[in-house]
Amino acid sequence: MKQGTKTYGMTVLVHQTRAVPKRAATVAHALRDLNQIFLELFSDEHFVTLLRAESMTKAPAYFGRILDETSNWNETA
């Protein structure tokens, strides 16, 4: 099929659309892994103390939520 035709464009679009669920699953898996990594890091009091010692006291909002979760977890442990 000749590139630049409408049929070729639709074929590419169909292939990309079919790949979306697999891509979404891959991204979701990577996000779960990253979330677990950051949860473990921020639950380590030595790591948090090191960040404070290096004047790294500001964190993006996403990490703020993780810090809140780990502080709640540490209080119950």
Q: Domain coordinates of the chain in residue numbers?
A: 6-76
- Phi and psi angles of residue 57, each rounded to the nearest 5 degrees, phi first: -95, -15
Query: What pLDDT was estimated at residue 1?
Result: 47
**pLDDT, tens only, 2-53:** 555 666 677 877 888 888 899 899 999 998 998 888 888 888 889 888 888 8
Query: What pLDDT was estimated at residue 28?
Result: 92
DSSP state of 16: H
Neighbours of 30 (CB within 10 A): 10
Query: What pLDDT was estimated at residue 26?
Result: 92
Query: What pLDDT was estimated at residue 70?
Result: 64
Residue range 52-77: mean pLDDT, rounded: 69
Query: What pLDDT was estimated at residue 18?
Result: 87
Output the DSSP codes for 22-63.
Answer: HHHHHHHHHHHHHHHHHHHHHH-HHHHHHHHHTT-----HHH
